[in-house]
Amino acid sequence: MDLEFNRNEDQNKQLVHRLHVKSVTVKQGGGEKKIKEQHEKGKLTARERIQYLTDKDSEFLEIGLFVGEGMYKEQGGCPSGGVVTGIGYIQGRQCVVVANDATVKAGAWFPITAKKNLRAQEIAMENRLPIVYLVDSAGVFLPMQDEIFPDKEHFGRQFRNNAKMSAMGIIQIAAIMGSCVAGGAYLPIMSDEAMIVDKTGSIFLAGSYLVKAAIGEDIDNETLGGATTHCEISGVTDNKFPSDQACLDYIRSLFSKFGSTEKAGFDRTSPQKPKEKPEEMYGLLPNDRVKPYDVREIVKRFVDNSEFDEYKELYGQTLFCATARIDGWAVGIIANQRKVVKTKKGEMQMGGVIYSDSADKAARFIMNCNQRKIPLVFIQDVSGFMVGSKAEHGGIIKDGAKMVNAMANSTVPKFTVITGNSYGAGNYAMCGKAYDPRLIVAWPTAQIAVMSGASAAKTLLQIRVASLKAQGKEITKEEEASLLKEITDRYNEQLSPYYAASRLWIDSIIDPIETRKVISMGIEAANHGVVEKFNVGVIQV
């Protein structure tokens, strides 16, 4: 391998190492002291519960590990949003698991916690997967109640989803393994079956202190809403268990008896590993964000047998479109081509930019995949659409709209992997979060923003300097340089994939080697759902 490959490999492996180190830290939740307190109460932690519940040595695709990263500093932080969510396997059956982390503010709900819970429910609804709630939460984080309680996508939306999922026939199982108070009490009881752990689990609309304040009644929490009360007197819960482990064993027993469901019918053959070495992706992706490379070489490292059938290879060359297989699943791949190409007309096209012919090609390819019921995989490394008089006169807006229309109306499941740049309208056209990908993940090399850091910083600087001059203030070259650095540093922080992950703009940051696994598990999940009839509506040609 050449020097450039080795340099890329070294830098990208450092980013992956940082990802693994940060992952280990975040998975500690509220820290060792809080974990020890859980154990002293005879309770497992959220992650221990998931590990015990899911099949031994099976994959667990965590969603939102870095949610809350860098947020709520005044409140002491909220690692993983105080809840662990993901797609796993119970008795060989794929499902969504949601587990409150009581080591983080007693499992209280922050605004981002609600967003993360709703995302987990969304995944279950889109893919018609069973969902298990492991409840251990003090309820809404009261100092921020105005940001979590009343709006459409706030706390109450989860109960609406409980009802909708029940009507859709999606199995919901809940285990009350700690506190379950106030409005949160509705979540387990709106599930199909609710169980409770004796002595540690409790559920009530108002705790003993609030009951005393409201109606003057003296009563302890266990008598008010413990396992004996709700299993023997109120009938609110279905069964009680002496320990977390016994409760989780019962859930596994339930899963062993579920009947089979209809499949969407996506094609799958026996998986074949890539012929090319997946770890070579580290050296193939340039650390320089504008340096060209051939995305085909990246794709070869995660598709079966390193084979694909390219669509319109000589047309619209800044977008690579091809059908292939990933872990046996048939897929349609749309990837930005950062390689600078020359057209038959003798024109040079910049890599990472979507031109009219590329957009036209992608729209047709998307329609073909929908016609053939083939899931779509978008590999983003995009700077945006081409600009300038030639592009505008050539109808770039019309062709871009055509691509966005076809992608937005696509009814086969879509999956998005952000490997590099994800800027401006390119993020939208390549199935950004706003366009409902079943899963959207990023490599540690990803950057997500309306434009690159350098372009944005210069634009913002011009606006700031103009504003100061309008106020009659002069700015020296030194002050201008200092201001540019301040703006650049702040913008670069917002470009980070961790910034995006903390706000759930992406589901996960993954090691590039995991790309194949994530897409495969995503399609397996989507295969439990249904595919509606495809109709793009009105498209200008």
d(CA 529, CA 490): 42
User: Longest Cα pair distance anywhere in the chain, in angstroms?
Assistant: 86
Alpha carbon 373 to chain centroid, angstroms? 23
Pairing of strands 353-354, 348-349: unpaired
In this prediction, residue 315 carries a pLDDT of: 93
In this prediction, residue 183 carries a pLDDT of: 66
d(CA 101, CA 178): 10
**432 token code pair:** 């950004």
In this prediction, residue 486 carries a pLDDT of: 81
Cβ proximity of 436 and 414 under 8 Å: yes
Neighbours of 517 (CB within 10 A): 16
For the chain, the first-to-last Cα distance in angstroms comes to 46
Residue 41, classed as helix, strand or coil, is coil
CA angle 528, 530, 533 (to 5 degrees): 160
CA atoms within 13 A on the CB side of 60: 21
In this prediction, residue 258 carries a pLDDT of: 96
Token match 């069964």: residue? 239
Cβ proximity of 81 and 68 under 8 Å: yes
CA atoms within 13 A on the CB side of 161: 24
In this prediction, residue 387 carries a pLDDT of: 85
Token match 């490394």: residue? 381
Inform me whether the pLDDT recorded for 117 exceeds 80: yes
Neighbours of 398 (CB within 10 A): 14
Phi-psi region of 311 (alpha: psi -120 to 50; beta: other; left: phi over 0): beta
**Could you read off the pLDDT of 37-56 as tens digits, one per residue?**
999 999 999 999 999 999 99
**195 token code pair:** 């169980």
d(CA 504, CA 501): 5
Average pLDDT over residues 57-85: 96
DSSP 70: T
In this prediction, residue 1 carries a pLDDT of: 59
pTM: 0.93
d(CA 65, CA 20): 11
Pairing of strands 202-204, 308-310: unpaired
**Could you read off the pLDDT of 165-197 as tens digits, one per residue?**
999 999 999 999 999 987 677 889 999 999 999
d(CA 190, CA 208): 23
Residue 316, classed as helix, strand or coil, is coil
**Could you read off the pLDDT of 252-264 as tens digits, one per residue?**
999 999 998 889 9
pLDDT mean across residues, the chain: 93
**Could you read off the pLDDT of 293-326 as tens digits, one per residue?**
999 999 999 999 999 999 999 999 999 999 999 9
